[in-house]
Amino acid sequence: MWPKTVDWKSLKFGVEIEFIGGKPQEVELLPGWIMSLDEMQIDETGMESGSELKPPPLSWSERGQIEVMLTRLRENGATVNWSCGLHVHVGLEPWGEDIVQPLLDAALRYQDSIRALVDTADHRLIFCPPVTEEMRRRAASEPCENALLRRGRPQSHRCGINLAAWYDIGTVEIRYANGSLDYDEILNTVELYLRFIAAIGAGRTLPRLPEEMAAELDAPAGGFPKPIAPPKWFLERMWLEELLRPGFASIAADLVPDGEVHSIIPVPEGLLVSIEQTGDGTLRKFVFGPPSTGWELLREI
């Protein structure tokens, strides 16, 4: 049912805490918490590192669990860098599917305001692109997860305000915040998002100016995870990928049915192109060499 007034503190939420370093497989987990060991970030040398830590659905009164796990992560040697993000899932149970379209309208109106408030690092925008009018129209005519996903690059499938998560796990996922292992910064982010979703759930109209929106919500207007500048080599790699990706799009589709280019990394023989299978997320890797007439597939690894 929408609109419906709900106390923001009663909403269930989850956080996806990305980090680098440490020995994540050795961290003692609270009941229900999950360490996704295959969800690694990139350390300063370009190597895969760290993991992603996720709780069970929490209520605001249970937020102390986050502080316990952050302490364990830091004691284990975990840190954050420019490759890490903080994603928050908010349960939509009080409204059900009725709130999906209002949240899409809200995303179109307020997504830039939320992004500005939490100060998303520019290089992280690939992981949280905007909701579009076309997506809203698709979802109105055929409500489903695919209507709310973007095509072209696996990292950009999910929007900054990701309503596709409703059809997967019954939540909206907000992906704008930079990475952090600081309890206060994470709580400020969670509170802002919870108050925002509760306001849209109640049918409220909010100011678009970021500080005015925060004041109207009685939410934090600062104290969020700060952006961390990436090293120049990483920016250069991103620029190279963006230049090469369109040329490999059709090659990826031929090699992997319905495949999309995930990443392109220089290796001694040429280029290592990772292609993700749409749907199951299987990642296959191919090495291409550059002859004079075009790219030559050398092998799959």
Q: Tell me what percent of the residues of the chain surpass a pLDDT of 70.
A: 100
Nearest C-alpha neighbor of 70 from the set 22, 128, 115: 22
The pLDDT value given to residue 232 = 97
* Residue-wise pLDDT tens digits, 2-61: 999 999 999 999 999 999 999 999 999 999 999 999 999 999 999 999 999 999 999 999
- Provide DSSP, 19-77: EEES-GGGPPPPTT-EEETT--EE-TTS-EE-EEEEPSPB-GGGTHHHHHHHHHHHHTT
- Give dist(CA 278, CA 25) in Å, integer: 28
Q: What is the pTM of this model?
A: 0.94
The pLDDT value given to residue 257 = 85
- Tokens representing 229? 């500048």
